[in-house]
Amino acid sequence: MREIQMVDLGAQYKKLKPEIDAAMGSVLESTAFIKGPEVGLFENELKQYMGVRHVIACANGTDALQLALMALGLKPGDEIITTNFTFIASVEVVALLGYKLVLVDPDPGSFNISAEAVRKALTPKTRAVIPVHLFGQCADMEGIMKLAAEHDLFVIEDAAQATGTDYFFSDGSTRKAGTIGHIGTTSFFPSKNLGCYGDGGALYTNDDRLAAKLRSIANHGMKVRYHYSDIGINSRLDTIQAAVLRVKLKYLDSFNEARGRAAARYNEAFSGVHGIIVPPRMSWSSHIFHQYTLRITGGRRDSLKAYLEERKIPAMIYYPGPLHMQEAYRFLGYAAGSFPVTSQLCSEVLSLPMHPDLEQDQADYIIRSVLCFFED
Ligand SMILES: *Cc1c(COP(=O)(O)O)cnc(C)c1O
């Protein structure tokens, strides 16, 4: 049996090697390392795939979030609501830009914030909401967009973990995660479902004005060369990364389907086991299983993790500590017990190895090991 990894980038590279090497080689030959033609081609192909009017590539998913906030023209002190149970990038950019960060607990049944939780956190200063589609499944976008329309809020979807996830509206229509809010953001960090071989990110929007603003801000605030209409940053996707992503985008659906099959195998084995809660499924969203995340109840999570590690099975805790208790975010003034759901999830979640190349014998071994632990 191959050594089990959380994400097996080596196995994937082996399969795609001829195509990836050719794509990278042609950029090397061209020497168009910055703003080469592959960047625009990739933006167009991703646009088709996502069914969105504009894709703007940038340097990473954190920059994408920062660019999204910069494009909204908010004032210092304006309030932005997001979840306390996410990767730090979703909240960091809010604090960095001097907006007031308002954290809310996710719904324990979905890991994502609900429209109701956002509603409770509204004040007259609320200007934007950042729903995060955590682990590959969408937050309740229909509810959140309705609330946003009522209260004139911007919605920025952090879709870094949900590239390819479908959202199902109650009228029967479907949209890709990240294309529903005013702006969507994503990351091409190597371990993401659509990952490159370094850093990369992108923004989605259907709004022509926001698209022009985002493009300008990502390029030093420049619309016409050496004329600066906005204060911007330098955030570009490298041509080599765009070339890699063009290859990988063609396989994204098949990769996500393979993750789905691995998740189905896990679900079947773990459903009904006392002490395990399998990943929640929402009727409004498909799930691309960026992570396959169990909740281990009864205080046994850490001993299960150690048990699996002894058997050479990696397992990860996403995320181990509530953000409001991190040293850098103490200034927000939240009390330790302010977010009971986040605190509970942080003590219960355990993500198992999940990637498109997880082999049957590996999955069987992981399943047997987890079940063995619970039989003791
Ligand atoms: C990975 C990730 C990001 C940041 O992406 P980078 O490309 O690493 O900057 C932001 N939000 C979420 C939810 C992520 O998982």
CATH number at residue 229: 3.40.640.10
Question: Is the C-beta atom of 90 inside 6 A of ligand 1?
Answer: yes
Q: Which two tokens stand for residue 191?
A: 């371990």
3: in domain? no
Identify whether residues 92 and 218 lie together within a single domain: yes
> Is 158 near ligand 1, meaning CB less than 6 Å away?
yes
201 C-beta closer than 6 A to ligand 1: yes
Mean pLDDT, residues 115-135 taken together: 98
Residue 362 pLDDT: 98
Of 101-105, 107-111, 117-121, 128-132, the poorest mean pLDDT is in 107-111
Q: What is the pLDDT of residue 225?
A: 87
HSE, side-chain direction, 13 A CA sphere, residue 194: 31
Q: What is the pLDDT of residues 334-366, one digit of tens each?
A: 999 999 999 999 999 999 999 999 999 999 999
What is the rounded CA–CA span in Å between residue 134 and residue 207?
24
Indicate whether 192 and 261 sit together in one domain. no
Q: Is 60 in the pocket of ligand 1 (CB under 6 A)?
A: yes
CA distances from 52 to 45, 141, 178, 181 (A): 11, 16, 9, 11
> What's the pLDDT at 179?
98
Three-state DSSP state, 155: strand
Residue range 217-237: mean pLDDT, rounded: 94
208 with 304, same domain? no
Segments forming the whole domain that contains residue 324: 252-375
Statement to judge: residues 234 and 279 lie in one domain? no
Does residue 1 belong to any structural domain of this protein? no
pLDDT band for position 223 (cuts 50, 70, 90): confident
Q: What is the CATH number of the domain that holds 316?
A: 3.90.1150.10
Q: Which atom of ligand 1 is nearest to the CA of 290?
A: 15
256 with 244, same domain: the answer is no
Give Cβ neighbours of residue 303 (< 8 Å, ≥ 6 apart): 373
Question: Residue 170 pLDDT more than 90?
Answer: yes
pLDDT band at 324 (very low <50, low <70, confident <90, very high): very high
Last residue of one domain, picked from the residues 204, 231, 249: 249
Q: Is 369 part of any domain?
A: yes
**pLDDT tens string 14-25:** 999 999 999 999
Q: DSSP 3-state assignment of 166?
A: strand
Q: Is 161 in the pocket of ligand 1 (CB under 6 A)?
A: yes
Residues 31-80: pLDDT tens digits? 999 999 999 999 999 999 999 999 999 999 999 999 999 999 999 999 99
Q: What does the pLDDT read at residue 369?
A: 98
Q: Are 182 and 53 in contact (CB under 8 A)?
A: no
Same domain, 75 and 100: yes
Ligand 1 mutation pick, 94, 165, 187, 289, max ligand atoms within 8 A of CB: 187
Does residue 4 lie within any of the structural domains? Answer: no
Rounded distance between C-alpha atoms, residue 119 and residue 125, angstroms? 13
End residue of a domain, out of 249, 276, 304: 249
51 & 162 share domain? yes
Residue 235 shares a structural domain with residue 341: no
pLDDT of residue 336: 92
Global pTM value: 0.97
The count of structural domains within the chain is: 2
Nearest residue (by CA) to ligand 1, atom 14, is: 160
pLDDT at 109: 85
Q: Is residue 30 part of a domain?
A: yes
234, 249, 264: which is the final residue of a domain?
249
The confidence band for 224, taking pLDDT boundaries of 50, 70 and 90, is confident
